[in-house]
Amino acid sequence: MKDIRTLSAEQLTDYFISIGEKPFRAKQVYDWLWSKNLHSFDEMTNLSQDLRRRLTRDYCINPISVDQLQRSTDGTIKNGVRLHDNLLVESVLIPTETRTTACVSSQVGCSLNCEFCATARLKRMRNLEVAEIVDQVALIDQQSKSYFNRPLSNIVFMGMGEPMMNYKNVVEAIRKITEPEGLGMSPRRITVSTSGIPKMIKMLADEDLKVKLALSLHSAIEHKRNEIMPFSEKFPLTDIMEALQYWYEKTGSVITFEYCVWKGINDKDEDIKALIRYCRKVPSKVNLIQYNSIGEGKYDQSNPEAMNDYVRQLERAGITVMNRRSRGGDIDAACGQLANKSADA
């Protein structure tokens, strides 16, 4: 059966008219599905029992479910999320004293081949549907209220998969998350993280979604970045920068460069100087990310001195930099570690 949440508002209206119902029924059901995130026709109490039975005959609702929940010593929660076809993804709730952030997945597995990332070792099975993305956000919002007594404040598309490789569904999910008829969350608290696909960055800028953009950079030296992220050979840093400049011209939103520092790979003075030159080409800031081991000896966390050197030189150059502390590492919930290990735990 077809999931009713694959219908647009217009298609939903057409359906109710076709079965002899008033068009306003579409708005009622849309509200149950997207604003209240309801997963059962039987609970749609402003519909008659006959209409609820008809909906049950014609459509289904395929919600996600938590296959396994793990809690870190730092409060981070990782959800092993089971989909209707029995595939698994992971999503993470990251709490701090002032906010709770949902890290959501956009694909089962990943389309790319970043050397340092555990998710990249998984075969990409399929893209997530719009409802499966929205369900992750609604689920983590409920967890935030339950565990931390406050609603979800931020959303990052930094989980499993490359959001730009599931462009249409990610954009539609953002609309469902932010529209008043949906979850009603602020788009300015949503960050889409990409490994850098210039054409898609420009397309996202044209959507006028009011979201933020983050780029997984990790090196501003072409040959080094290609070694770290082999797929990037198709997307030179000059092309990515042109797309980022277009993004800023269209949106006025500062870009965040996500940047891991590894021992012997990108921890030299030349790496810092290259990053500074790249940052100066577009309004941007840098998040230095503590690397989380995935059992691959080639990539080792840098010495604290190297991280400090990055911070000193970036700040001296007038570039905003944050040395981001890793969260959830003890349950493989930190950046780069999502690989459905919870399914085997």
The residues annotated with a catalytic role in the active site are 90, 335
- Provide the sign of the torsion angle of the four alpha carbons 229, 329, 128, 142, taken in this order: negative
What is the pairing mode between strands 321-324 and 284-289? parallel
Compute the half-sphere exposure of residue 93: CA atoms within 13 Å on the CB side of its CA. Answer: 28
CA distance 317 to 249: 23
Q: Which of 94, 55, 31, 96 is nearest to 334 (CA)?
A: 94
Tell me the one-letter amino acid at 94: I
Cβ neighbours of residue 268 closer than 8 Å, sequence gap 6 or more: none
Tell me how crowded residue 54 is: count the other CB atoms within 10 A of its CB: 16
CA distance 260 to 241: 19
- Provide the 3-class DSSP secondary structure of residue 278: helix
Beta strands in 109-205 (DSSP E): 126-127, 154-157, 190-194
